[in-house]
Amino acid sequence: MTHPTKQQLLETGLVMLLEHGYNDLGIQTLLKETGVPRGSFYHHFDSKEDFALRVVDLYMDRVHDALTACVRDESRPPLERVRGFFEMTKGQYRQDGYLGCMLGGLGQELSGVNDVFRLKIESCFKEIAGILAGCLEEACAQGDLPRDADCRAMADLLTDCWEGAALRSRLLRSPAPLEAMLDFYFGRVVSA
């Protein structure tokens, strides 16, 4: 079980990283927002980088919860489960004010200057695509996709397209790019 102070810092950090990114995340601002003393921060985290990486882990825990809820719901066909994950994510983005995906934002901000974050975020995207690929393979087995479909490539494309749409959604503060991307992907790519 995570210590309550550590959890409070991570939860607040998740919001702050999503809103401001890594470079604009001030530890002093985080401490002021949470009311946590500086020493407590460094008791739980070695550095700002360590803290942000743990926030990424928290974010991924939530992504995994949503993925699990959707892809394991065998009462729905596999393609509906995959789309359901993205619809659920779109709902979270709405609650966040269409700030997009924290992984995508951090990846854009840090991938050119920090290999630790570049590799961490890429592994997160690979994990997500791998789980989606499994559900797409079920769709192949059920005849909803061509039997020879490259489900991993389709899942990678879906993840990549979603991240681009999430960026546009953030820029526009609108769900329109997310909706258009899902409609295109599931209407044309999957049915092709």
pLDDT at residue 189 greater than cutoff 80: no
Confidence of residue 2 (pLDDT cuts 50, 70, 90): confident
Q: What is the pLDDT of residue 17?
A: 96
More confident residue, 45 or 3: 45
Q: Per-domain residue ranges for the chain?
A: 4-189
Q: What is the pLDDT of residue 192?
A: 60
Alpha helices in 72-150 (DSSP H): 78-95, 102-110, 115-141
Q: What is the pLDDT of residue 188?
A: 81
- Distance CA(10)–CA(49), nearest Å, equals 13
More confident residue, 152 or 3: 152
Average pLDDT, the chain: 95
DSSP 2-70: --HHHHHHHHHHHHHHHHHTTTT--HHHHHHHHT--HHHHHHH-SSHHHHHHHHHHHHHHHHHHHHHHH
pLDDT over 70 for what percent of the chain?
Answer: 98
Residues 6+ apart with CB under 8 A from 174: 98
pLDDT at residue 91 greater than cutoff 90: yes
pLDDT digits (tens, 9 = 90+) for 118-160: 999 999 999 999 999 999 999 999 999 999 999 999 999 999 9
Domain at 4-189: CATH architecture: Orthogonal Bundle (1.10)
Q: Is 0.95 surpassed by the pTM of this model?
A: no
pLDDT at residue 86 greater than cutoff 80: yes
pLDDT digits (tens, 9 = 90+) for 49-59: 999 999 999 99
What's at 188, amino acid-wise? R
